[in-house]
Amino acid sequence: MSSYSFQTSAEQVAQDCQDAIANKTVLVTGVSPGGLGAEFAKVIAIHSPSLIILASRDILKAQQTAQEIANIAPGVATRLLELDLRSQAQVRNAAKEVLTYKEDIDVLVNNAGVMASPFSLTEDGIESQFATNHVGHFLFTNLIMEKLVHPGTPCRVVNVSSNGHQLSSIRFHDWNFDEGKNYDPWLAYGQSKSANMLFSVSLAQKLGSKGLISVSLHPGTINTNLARGDWSEMYESLGMGHICILCTSTRVLPEWAERDNLEDYVARGGDACIRRISSIHHHTSLAENNGSFVQDCTVLKPEEVRSWARDPIEAEQLWKLTEDIVGETFEY
């Protein structure tokens, strides 16, 4: 990983990883055109994966991405999966469908998400960001675990998190923001991103011995459809700390970003994110750093990550909390 820089293209990394991509079955959530999931799928498609499963709550948008893949890699099989992470019932239906597949899954990329959305509760009574970004992925991943973990073949689970995890730890005392009475969209986002990281910690602890490698990552700053709606009022309420956390790396901006402009930095960030995801599922040192957090194609040291997002005790506490939320236990 360290041989790559922020400016390395996603295509270059995918080329380097082509042996690890070929003949693999990859499932990606959140694949609307223009999003990270769709771009990742297109980048790996030209290197002959066996099957790309495109999971989305909007099946028409998934079809558009499938067509884009067919245009650039006509020999690659795709399959659509309707997956609405906001609904536990729908997540269970999607998982049941996956369990009927004849193929095992080599790589699962939990990419779908929302950011800083206005307060709302799902049909299950869960704050929407926590439900979409964490609870839905937790339930889906565990329900299809028999398709992921299979003897003799390693698998990868990539949880797309964010430097936004620095905004909040898990609010175990009030994870639902008192039904919206004290809701802060950025704290809710930060909580959900910390949850993504702790989920990888738990998966590594519980299933690492069975060949599962899970990492979380910061995708960079990218111009996608993740953030929708009118942010003008939100920006007025933000301090510089929020902006620095969400719009840059924890490191200083590279000289070329300062020399050029932030828009160019953001545009290159999309390539960087796809590069990071692409590089993860072949990198052997990740087995030694199972459960880690990846940024700029580098496994960060523990001291470079907020303690609440890497603490195994908090990871287990979150696992138990989420089991309570979904009404099912998962023991391995």
DSSP for 52-110? EEEEES-HHHHHHHHHHHHHH-TTSEEEEEE--TT-HHHHHHHHHHHHT-SS--SEEEE
Count of beta carbons in the 10 Å neighbourhood of residue 181: 9
∠ CA 140-66-269, nearest 5°, is: 75
Closest CA to 274 of 59, 109, 48, 95: 109
Rounded Cα–Cα distance for residues 253 and 173 (Å): 36
189 is a catalytic site residue: yes
DSSP β-ladder status, 155-160 and 25-29: unpaired
Query: Could you tell me the maximum CA-CA distance found in the chain, to the nearest angstrom?
Result: 53
Q: In DSSP terms, which residues pair with 25 in a beta bridge? A: 51
Tokens coding 266: 């953001």
**Residues 39, 40, 44, 45, CA torsion sign:** negative
| Tokens read off for 102 | 């004849």
Candidate list 4, 101, 183, 189, residue with the active-site label: 189
The tokens describing 256, both together, are 């070329």
Residues 122/128, Cβ–Cβ less than 8 Å: yes
Containing 51, the helix (H) or strand (E) segment is strand 51-56
Cα-Cα-Cα-Cα torsion 309, 34, 132, 76, nearest 10 degrees, comes to: -90
CB neighbours (10 Å) of residue 22? 12
Q: Which residues are catalytic?
A: 189
